[in-house]
Amino acid sequence: MDLLSAMEEFNISEDDYQEHQQDSVPVPPPPMSGTRNKVGYGNIAALLAGNLPPAPTPSILRRVDGIGMFYANQVNILFGEPESGKTFVALAAIVECLNKGGRAVFLDMDHNGMEGIAARLLDLGAPAPILGDLDRFRYKEPEDRQDLMEAVADLKAWHPGVAVLDSIGELMPTMGLSSNSPDDFTIAHTSVLKPLAMAGAAVIAIDHVAKNTESKAQGPTGTAAKSRAAGGTMLRVTVKDAFTPGHGGAAYLNVKKDRHGGLRSNSPRGDKEPLGGTFKLFPDGNFAVFAAQDGERMPEAVPAVDLAELKALDPPPTTVREARERLNWGNDRATAAMRVFKQQGQQ
């Protein structure tokens, strides 16, 4: 059917056709094959010729033996229970970066407050003049999605060495996304986390574990999508000694994921989540990350509330089945709680 016949069949006037043509955008033809094809492909020949770059190594927040906990130019995820020390660990990475002459930013989605974050950074050893210099350190508490995206665009041009986002749980609703949707997390990652990593930052995104006791072992909500997005390390933070003002504290950092293997290969072998390091905050504000000693592992732990419920039973349960039935728990929860309960000599 020619153009004139089509216009007559669909009752399109010549004036309507001309108006449509003015509003239309021509579609470019597909790229041609052969030498005129301008699509770029990876240069495998160069790699085979010996130009393969070395594997990335973790270089941010170094242990006392020099091995880093986080990767530059990658998205790293730090997750754990409330009050486990996640923010202290992330802020320590900022202080290390600033003291080495780098730039850092703290994106405060969790509304910690500028005063509180500045006070913690000072306590950890960040020099006051550097914190007050916008060319070295930036703090941002985004008001909404537009404010956040404008900040990301600015930070991409600024090239921070460390970018901490606290937390993913607050990032999602700020962007109008669902915290329970893997697809929505992918949008947040592509829009906020990945651009900062591509700008050169070691992105440290703080997250919380799932609320369901039996899901906590898997990691934060939507672990599969977050694990895929993490191009660096994904570390589980578990409190060792409670963090209290003037007394310090300590936390275990276990390796849930290490895409490039630089930290995992320097951690105890054989464990699914090896102990990557122990973060220690001293009473004077100094901090350090210690490598695991031979055979050292994080002691098995369960939520304190579960142990309290077991202790409150009279008489105390003697088997997993008894604990499960009396407390209406799932098998995994009862098994873990009873194991620690017996280890502590409560039964």
Q: What is the pLDDT of residue 7?
A: 46
What per-residue confidence (pLDDT) applies to 210? 74
* Closest to 216 in 3D by CA, of 305, 324, 89, 303: 303
The pLDDT of residue 5: 57
Distance CA 290, CA 255 (A): 14
**What is the model's pLDDT at position 295?**
74
Judging by DSSP bridges, how do beta strands 287-290 and 137-140 pair with one another? unpaired
Q: How far is CA 327 from CA 140, 249, 324, in A?
A: 45, 33, 6
Which segments of 130-232 are extended strands (E)? 137-140, 162-166, 202-208
Residue 142 DSSP class: -
pLDDT at res. 13:
57
Which is nearest to 181 in space by CA: 224, 236, 228?
224
Report the distance separating Cα 252 and Cα 273, nearest Å. 11
Order of all β-strands in the sheet with 202-208? 137-140, 104-108, 162-166, 202-208, 75-80, 233-244, 248-258, 275-281, 287-290
Say what the pLDDT of residue 277 is.
Answer: 97
For residue 251, the SS3 value is: strand
The predicted structure's pLDDT at residue 40: 80
What is the dihedral sign for C-alpha 75, 81, 85, 87?
A: positive
List the chain pLDDT tens, one digit each, 347 residues: 554 554 455 455 555 545 544 555 555 555 555 555 567 888 888 778 877 778 899 999 999 999 999 999 999 999 998 889 999 999 999 999 999 999 999 999 999 999 999 999 999 999 999 999 999 999 999 999 999 999 999 999 999 999 999 999 999 999 999 998 999 999 999 999 999 999 999 999 999 987 665 556 677 877 789 999 999 999 999 888 889 889 999 999 999 999 999 999 999 998 889 999 999 999 999 999 999 987 787 766 667 678 788 989 999 999 999 999 999 999 988 988 888 788 766 55
Is the CB of residue 67 less than 8 Å from the CB of residue 262?
yes
